[in-house]
Amino acid sequence: ATATPAVIEDMKNKFDIASDHITVTGFYRSNLDISVIPCGESEKQTQLKTIVAAAPKLPTIVYVTQQQTAEQVAKSLIHIGVNVHAYHAGMKSEVREQIQQQFMAGQIDCIVATIAFGMGVDKSDIRRVIHFDLPKSIENYAQEIGRAGRDGQRSECILLGNTSGLTVLENFVFGDTPERSSISYVLGQIKEHQPQWEVVPLRLSRESNIRQLPLKTLLVYLELA
C-alpha cells in the first residue's frame, strides 16, 4: 500500500503493529516514464486523443476528477475508434464490476475513470496512466501511477498539466470540510443520547449540514479517538 509516514504511524498504533514488522520499500520504480505535458484546458481533449491514438490497444487508465468528465472523455475516445469505457461511482455497482472484469480480461483497452476505479485492481500489464485532470494530492498521484507497469515492463505516466484544474480541486477540498458549528452539533447529539446513539446518516447529514461522506469520516475518527 502507498502510505505517508503519518499514515504508517497511525496504522501501527491502531493495529498494535511493532516497528520491526513494518517494511518500507520506497516508491521509486525505474520502469515508469513520468512526464508532464503543459497544455491549456481547451487543448486537453486533442492532446489526449493524440496520445491514445498513437497506440490505441495499450491497456490504459485515464484519470479525471468528475463523473461527467469521465463520460465526455470516453465518448470522445470512442469517436476515434478506441475500445474504451467510462467508470465512476455514479454507476450501479454491478455495472462497475462488469467493466472492471472486462478491463482485467483485456476485453476493454482503456478506462476513463474517477478515483472510484483502482482500489483492488491488480492488472500487471497496464502500459499507460494518463491524468486528464490534476490528481487530488501527491499521495493520490503516487497510488494512481503505481498501477502502471506492475510486471516490470516500461510504462508511461502522463499528466496533462495546467492551473485551470486547481479551482475544481479547491472546491472538492473545501466543499467537503465541515464548519466548526456543524461538528459541534454532531458532538452535542452524541452527548445528548449517550451511552447509546442510533445514527441515521441521511437525517444527521441534513441536520448538521455535513455531506454524508465527510460525516462518515468524522464518525470513524470519533470512534477511534
What pLDDT, on a 0 to 100 scale, did the predictor assign at position 2?
Answer: 66
Q: Sign of the C-alpha dihedral, residues 161, 167, 168, 174?
A: positive
Over residues 107-135, mean pLDDT = 90
Its pTM surpasses 0.95: no
Q: Which of 123 and 7 is assigned the larger pLDDT? A: 123
Same domain for 185 and 155: no
What pLDDT, on a 0 to 100 scale, did the predictor assign at position 210?
Answer: 85
Over residues 124-133, mean pLDDT = 97
pLDDT at 187 > cutoff 70: yes
Domain's final residue, options 148, 169, 190: 169
Q: Which of 79 and 220 is assigned the larger pLDDT? A: 79
Domain's final residue, options 150, 169, 188: 169
pLDDT at 120 > cutoff 70: no
Same domain for 198 and 143: no
Does residue 120 belong to any structural domain of this protein? yes
pLDDT at 1 > cutoff 70: no
Q: Please state, for a pLDDT cut of 70, what percent of the chain lies above it.
A: 95
Does residue 133 belong to any structural domain of this protein? yes
Same domain for 211 and 151: no
Does residue 63 belong to any structural domain of this protein? yes
Same domain for 202 and 129: no
Q: Sign of the C-alpha dihedral, residues 136, 142, 144, 145?
A: positive
Contact by Cβ (8 Å): 199, 191: no
Domain of residue 165, residue span: 29-169
Same domain for 150 and 43: yes
Number of domains, the chain: 2
75 confidence band (pLDDT: 50, 70, 90): very high
Contact by Cβ (8 Å): 212, 219: no
Over residues 93-121, mean pLDDT = 90
